[in-house]
Amino acid sequence: MNPCRNCENGACDKAVRETAGGVVGNWAYDAFWGGATRFTTVTHKFIDKVTGGRFWRHFPGGAQVVWLTTTGRKSGKARRQPLLAVPEGTDWVIAGSNAGQTKPPAWVYNLRANPNATLEVEGRTQPVTAHEATGQERDDLYERMKGVWRGYQMYERNAGRVIPVFRLAPTSHH
């Protein structure tokens, strides 16, 4: 599902990349942040495993770290990723920024293929169903994300695409 309410084939994302100029879609930016994101994720997974999940539950500045487990759309295997999340009532909100790289992270495609996932917050795990926000809902939720982590402003400028935002609602079972 394309989050743009005006097109069906990603044409808006492509147009933004082609007309924004500057650093948007820059291979050097993608290479740097791709490497940094992979390093941080691997480090986070290692610390989580070694400490039994007792450390690094928050980003610098206090933003909540959650662990999202999706089903790989190609492999069918469980894929677990640490993400920044913002609470929204009983739901959690996450953004597929991929640190502002031109391509969304793999978990975005996994959720689009199968919205049933598992979310771990502060050591508590619960099944969730993902809903990809669109239009004004997406814009409002992304503003909340930017209020918690200023990096989202830079990611939005540099990605050259609409950054997908998901609302994760608790479910009783899958």
Note down the domain range covering 128.
Answer: 11-170
CB atoms within 10 A of CB 112: 18
Q: What is the pLDDT of residue 56?
A: 56
Residue 18 in domain? yes
How much is the average pLDDT of 40-60? 59
Residue 129 in domain? yes
Q: What is the pLDDT of residue 99?
A: 84
Q: Which has more confidence, 152 or 85? A: 85
Residue 5 in domain? no
Residue 140 in domain? yes
Residue 36 in domain? yes
Query: What is the rounded distance in angstroms from the CA atom of residue 119 to the CA atom of residue 108?
Result: 14
Q: What is the pLDDT of residue 63?
A: 72
Q: What percent of the chain has pLDDT over 90?
A: 48
Residue 16 in domain? yes
**pLDDT tens readout for residues 69-85:** 999 999 999 999 989 99
Largest CA distance in the chain: 47
| CATH number for the domain harbouring residue 58 | 2.30.110.10
The sign of the torsion formed by the CA atoms of 90, 131, 101, 140 equals: negative
Q: Which has more confidence, 133 or 101? A: 133
How much is the average pLDDT of 108-136? 96
Number of domains in the chain: 1
Q: What is the pLDDT of residue 10?
A: 43
Residue 135 in domain? yes
Residue 4 in domain? no
Cβ-count burial of 62 within 10 angstroms (0-12 exposed, 13-18 middle, 19+ buried)?
A: exposed
Q: Which has more confidence, 84 or 44? A: 84
